[in-house]
Amino acid sequence: MTASRARHSLDAMSPRVTAILVVHDGSGPAGPASLQGTLDALAAQSRQPDVVVAVACGAPAATTLVLEKGDIDRIVTSGERLHFGQALAAGIRVVGQPAGPDEFLWLLAQDTAPEPDALERLLGALEVAPSVAIAGPKLKDAADGSTIVSLGESVTRFGATVPLVEDELDQGQHDSVSDVLGVAPAGMLVRHTVWEQLGGFDPAFGSADDALDFCTRARLAGHRVTVVPSATVLTRSSGIAGPSRSNRPAARRKRARQTRGAQLYRRLVYAPAAVVWLHWLALLPLGILRGIRRVVGKQPGLVGSEIAAAFRVTFSLVRVMRARRNLQRSKQVGWSSLSALRIPAAEVHRRRRLRRDAGVAVYTVERSDLRFFTGGGAWLVLASALLGTALFFRLLAASGVEGGTLFPLSASVPDLWQNIGYGWRDIGLGFSGAADPFSALLAVLGTLTFWNPSYVLVLVTLLALPLATLGGWFAATRLTERSGYRLVAAVLWTVAPTFLSALGSGHVSGILVHLLLPWLFYTGCIAARSWGSAAVASMLLAATLASAPSLTPALLILWLVALAFSGRHLARVFWLIVPSAALFAPLVWQQGVVGQNWIHLLADPGVPLPSPSPTGWELVQGLPAGNPAWDAMTAALGLSGIPAHLLVPVLLTPLAVMALLALFLPGSSRAAVLLGTALLGLMTAAGASHLFLAVTGSSPVSIWPGSGLSLYWLGLVGASVVGFDSLRRAAAVPALVIGVLSLVVAVPIAASVATGNGQITASNGRTLPAYVAAAASVDPSLRTLILTPQPDGGISARIVSGVGDTLDNQSTLITTNPALTGDDKNVATLAGNLVSQGGPDPSAMVAEYGVQFVLLDSPPSLIGQDATSPAEEMANRAAVSLNANAVFAHVGPTDRGTLWRFEGETTPPAATGDVPFASTLVLGTLAIVFGFALLLAVPTAASRRAAEGRPRTIGRRPAEPAPRLTRAERAERNAAAEADRAVELALASESDEIDEREAHAAASNAERTGESAGNPNDAVERRPDALALSSTAESQDNHGR
């Protein structure tokens, strides 16, 4: 071998080839083994390179050893891991200056193994055409030896790199290509003189576009660049020469960053001098816009790459200037000479379309139709809507509702949004602090009915039943394909005792949780499948937790379990909790970290409402506040004692039996998870009913156990549906029985809601007397002292501002604070003296607090306890004392209590002060996080196609016989397949035509047909799994720009 090389070198007239071999570390798939392969391939060349120079960058001793054993003339070592371009420069430096145009450089990397005749053919191409300065081989994948990795590169009109051929099975279909804009760096043969003239690869490039840029400059210097399809080099694409083709997320991010960075850098270098600064200014805005587009395109991991690339290029002006000077120096011909080599927009679109169509064929599972209308779901929702209207007939014409924890919302949308985040809270005498996350949910809801924010609560109440049915039905589509069982699940979800109980007692957070949970299940259980689902689920989770923070422990456990099983989609599952964390962060900081009241974070938001404490057995039956409706009915029927208390449990037993039976049936893992969820819900409810965290007046208020019971019910119903699904047709009768029995349980509860025992009533939207409301409309800063006699003879004293309490302007920081603040003490002193006779003149204090009205509320009646006489006595005492007070004028009895007006002048309460930095920070974070989630959630064509590739259900899919099709359906299916084929053919012929127009050399028709058919087949072969679709779409995105 040495002899042959010597022979060539002796011949002065024959071309002289110097092979530069760049070697990195020896580990990994491109390690010593592949290096050895490359060395062997070099040794096997039919035309031996005259000199072989190896550049070892940061290579371990083993690698160096391999090199020394190999047939290498010079070894250049470098401690650093140089880029391909820098390593080449280091290698060429030792070669010396070229003596003539017949000296060539052959650029190789450790993982590029040329076929034996590669150099000969490349050299042949250069020798016959002196105008050709650069020749590139056909790069093929070393793994299979038949897939074309690169065969020439071009750019679009906007400068994005486009590989002329990519990921195609080599059937000789491209062997006619010759003149191209650029070639890949690996295996490139370049005239040494040209290399020196152009200054080699631009070191500013990483592994992307270095060769393309070099080729472009060669073209502009008047040389030609050709690709030699007959010369083949096998590459492992480990990222030394040209970008790595690894599919690992980190590699993808790096590739995206380098590709984009290279494109931007080239844009600045190539642009006319007059507009460089425009391009430069546009870098960052464009980077952000493209980042948003990445989010919408469900590639949130690449956002950082986009922005990093933009930043990097923004701050590499010096290199850009140097590169521009370099280009100017070598430039001989105009840019117009390249126009024929660029890829036209039509071709870019054609490729994109072909790729998409190629993806469509990759179905491993067939997604069934939703069958919402044909399966009866729509009719059930309609029936549920009618029932809901009947239950809340009295609210049809209402503009607001009240009762239970339902209070009006702030009167205007800006006010609603002012009550979120962190800042001044106008509660009591006011304080600076974190808002409950629930306020943010209310702000969103209130914005839906922007003309009257409170009206959304009417809608929620009126539409609660149909919305629950809809949610239940959709949640069931994740568990069963059978319409009948979906309907049963929807019914069971709608008539959940906890839901009806919340509707009856007006627990707004209980209602919202029950409406949100099925959707959280619907999206959350497929969060690992797609970014879109993960984003929607993350927002639903935030809304659910905002409504019922008591669900946090249970949902956190479920999240951790999901995280443990998320596998390679860890990021998607992890994201689920991010919006919730952002939403809760201010409160967690203030209540937990600063206040050390961690348990108070679980308190229900909104107005605390005492409710009867349920027994443990009632919780097991799903009843959050006892069962007054059934108790009343059994009492009316003359039943009492054990039999009466056993009725509901007996009626609900079949549901529990079915849920447990599902554990014994095939597909029990789904049932196990759902029953685990049910247990978590039950534990939450049991814990909640024992946690009296908030206080109203003298009574501590427990967390509403109904939220936990909704989760419990979700698990039970879900497990039952899994059972139905596993039993297939055999479960039809049990399902019907369970559905009917649950309806029986619900009837008395629903009837008591409808017949006036429901707490939710129409409201005029005021919580203070009209007199105060009128005054507040003139002076919104006025304050009212509300005195409420307590059952123990004490009195509660609260100060409210403006038009009074609103649902969005409540704070668990206040309701759970066990300590008396200075303001509390002052208000208490004022109130204590106002309800006592004599005493000092309260004018000063009243005026200081801006209290213009005093409202003596009627004593609150605790459930199961009559208004006791101590409360009445206190009410009398307060009324008498206020009547006798000369500074208060008795306005009279109102619908909200007895009202007095302060006769003196009040000082308006101090302004709320500056917006603290924390407020801006919190709002900004929320905007970014939720904006990100919203963008991720926007469905795109690609995401819809990806979803269609997955089954609708989750977990194990029971092996079902192929659905029996009617004759008509079979005919339809055949027709559809026929149509698909026709479209495919049409596309193929169309692409043929385009190819024909743009081909540089004539080729046989047979080869053409091969290419057009090759595209889809290729994709099928390479990635037979269902995920092929999304990755195809991604790679298309990467290269399409």
Site for another protein in 700-759 (CB under 8 A): 700
Q: Residue 481 half-sphere exposure, CB side, CA atoms within 13 Å? A: 18
CB of 389 to another protein, least distance (A): 36
Q: How many Å apart are CA 215 and CA 226, to the nearest integer?
A: 10
Q: Which is nearer to another protein, 248 or 890 (CB)?
A: 890
Write out the binding residues for another protein, residues 850-889 only, by CB under 8 A. Answer: 869, 874, 876-877, 879-881, 883-884, 886
How is residue 943 written in tokens? 């995401």
CB of 693 to another protein, least distance (A): 6
Write out the binding residues for another protein, residues 583-612 only, by CB under 8 A. Answer: 599
Q: Is 825 in the site for another protein (CB under 8 A)?
A: yes
Site size for another protein (CB under 8 A): 73
Q: Are 211 and 201 in contact (CB under 8 A)?
A: yes
How far from chain centre, in Å, is Cα 775?
47
Choose which of 833, 843, 912, 1031 interacts with another protein (CB under 8 A): 833
How far from chain centre, in Å, is Cα 445?
21
The residue assigned the tokens 């047979």 is 1006
Write out the binding residues for another protein, residues 658-697 only, by CB under 8 A. Answer: 660-661, 663-666, 668, 671-672, 675, 678-679, 682-683, 686-687, 690-697
Name the segment binding another protein (CB under 8 A); options: 32-40, 393-401, 455-463, 794-802. 794-802
Write out the binding residues for another protein, residues 10-49 only, by CB under 8 A. Answer: none
Choose which of 617, 640, 774, 908 interacts with another protein (CB under 8 A): 617
Q: Are 523 and 537 in contact (CB under 8 A)?
A: yes
| Of the candidates 873, 829, 874, the residue with the CA atom closest to the CA atom of residue 848 | 829
Q: Which is nearer to another protein, 616 or 1024 (CB)?
A: 616
| Of the candidates 506, 481, 478, the residue with the CA atom closest to the CA atom of residue 714 | 478
Write out the binding residues for another protein, residues 634-663 only, by CB under 8 A. Answer: 660-661, 663
Q: Which is nearer to another protein, 876 or 920 (CB)?
A: 876
Q: How many Å apart are CA 528 and CA 126, to the nearest integer?
A: 53
Q: Which is nearer to another protein, 285 or 832 (CB)?
A: 832
Q: Are 703 and 602 in contact (CB under 8 A)?
A: yes
Q: Helix or strand or coil: residue 108?
A: strand
Q: Is 619 in the site for another protein (CB under 8 A)?
A: yes
Query: Which residues lie below 8 Å from residue 447, measured CB to CB, with a gap of 6+?
Result: 413, 416, 417, 453
Give Dmax over CA atoms of the chain in angstroms: 125
Name the segment binding another protein (CB under 8 A); options: 165-173, 758-766, 828-836, 849-857. 828-836
Choose which of 796, 811, 1015, 1032 interacts with another protein (CB under 8 A): 796
Q: Which is nearer to another protein, 474 or 630 (CB)?
A: 630
CB of 864 to another protein, least distance (A): 17
CB of 804 to another protein, least distance (A): 16
CA-CA-CA-CA torsion sign (811, 815, 819, 824):
positive
| Of the candidates 245, 128, 288, the residue with the CA atom closest to the CA atom of residue 932 | 288
Q: Which is nearer to another protein, 421 or 428 (CB)?
A: 428
CB of 548 to another protein, least distance (A): 18
CB of 643 to another protein, least distance (A): 18
The secondary structure of 998-1010 as a DSSP string is H-SS---HHHHHH
CB of 553 to another protein, least distance (A): 15
Choose which of 836, 861, 974, 989 interacts with another protein (CB under 8 A): 836
Q: Is 818 in the site for another protein (CB under 8 A)?
A: yes
Q: Which is nearer to another protein, 646 or 884 (CB)?
A: 884
Write out the binding residues for another protein, residues 299-338 only, by CB under 8 A. Answer: none
How is residue 186 written in tokens? 């690996």
Q: How many Å apart are CA 193 and CA 915, to the nearest integer?
A: 67
Q: Are 222 and 330 in contact (CB under 8 A)?
A: no
Q: Which is nearer to another protein, 543 or 813 (CB)?
A: 813
Choose which of 68, 144, 792, 972 interacts with another protein (CB under 8 A): 792
Q: Which is nearer to another protein, 571 or 887 (CB)?
A: 887
How is residue 870 written in tokens? 């101590």
Q: How many Å apart are CA 434 and CA 419, to the nearest integer?
A: 9
Q: Which is nearer to another protein, 261 or 622 (CB)?
A: 622
Write out the binding residues for another protein, residues 955-1014 only, by CB under 8 A. Answer: none
Choose which of 828, 891, 938, 1020 interacts with another protein (CB under 8 A): 828
Query: Which residues lie below 8 Å from residue 679, measured CB to CB, with a gap of 6+?
Result: 712, 715
Q: How many Å apart are CA 296 and CA 937, to the nearest integer?
A: 7
**R_g of the chain, CA atoms, integer Å:** 38
The pairs formed by 836-841 with CB atoms below 8 angstroms and a separation of 24 or more are 836/877, 836/881, 837/880, 837/881, 837/884, 841/887
Name the segment binding another protein (CB under 8 A); options: 22-30, 744-752, 792-800, 939-947. 792-800
Q: Which is nearer to another protein, 115 or 857 (CB)?
A: 857
| Of the candidates 560, 526, 521, the residue with the CA atom closest to the CA atom of residue 541 | 521
CB of 494 to another protein, least distance (A): 23
Name the segment binding another protein (CB under 8 A); options: 242-250, 409-417, 494-502, 785-793. 785-793
| Of the candidates 872, 786, 869, the residue with the CA atom closest to the CA atom of residue 834 | 786
Name the segment binding another protein (CB under 8 A); options: 257-265, 290-298, 473-481, 838-846. 838-846
| Of the candidates 450, 521, 883, 532, the residue with the CA atom closest to the CA atom of residue 715 | 521
Q: Is 698 in the site for another protein (CB under 8 A)?
A: yes
Name the segment binding another protein (CB under 8 A); options: 72-80, 257-265, 789-797, 801-809. 789-797
Q: How many Å apart are CA 118 and CA 369, to the nearest integer?
A: 54
Q: Which is nearer to another protein, 72 or 738 (CB)?
A: 738
Residues forming beta bridges with residue 140, ordered by sequence position: 148, 234
The residue assigned the tokens 């007059």 is 274
Residues forming beta bridges with residue 191, ordered by sequence position: 104
Q: Is 831 in the site for another protein (CB under 8 A)?
A: yes
The strand pair at 153-155 and 161-163 is best described as antiparallel
CB of 700 to another protein, least distance (A): 5
CB of 850 to another protein, least distance (A): 17
CB of 175 to another protein, least distance (A): 51
Name the segment binding another protein (CB under 8 A); options: 251-259, 350-358, 832-840, 1015-1023. 832-840
Q: Which is nearer to another protein, 599 or 635 (CB)?
A: 599
Q: Is 894 in the site for another protein (CB under 8 A)?
A: no
Write out the binding residues for another protein, residues 798-817 only, by CB under 8 A. Answer: 798, 814-817
Choose which of 33, 382, 770, 820 interacts with another protein (CB under 8 A): 820
Residue 274 corresponds to which amino acid? A
CB of 1025 to another protein, least distance (A): 25
DSSP E strand boundaries for 719-835: 761-762, 783-789, 795-801
Q: How many Å apart are CA 204 and CA 210, to the nearest integer?
A: 8
Q: Is 245 in the site for another protein (CB under 8 A)?
A: no
Q: Is 946 in the site for another protein (CB under 8 A)?
A: no
Choose which of 133, 155, 750, 827 interacts with another protein (CB under 8 A): 827
Query: Which residues lie below 8 Å from residue 1023, measured CB to CB, with a gap of 6+?
Result: 362, 1031, 1032
Site string for another protein, 44-83 (x = CB under 8 A): ----------------------------------------
Residues forming beta bridges with residue 798, ordered by sequence position: 786
The residue assigned the tokens 């009843």 is 623
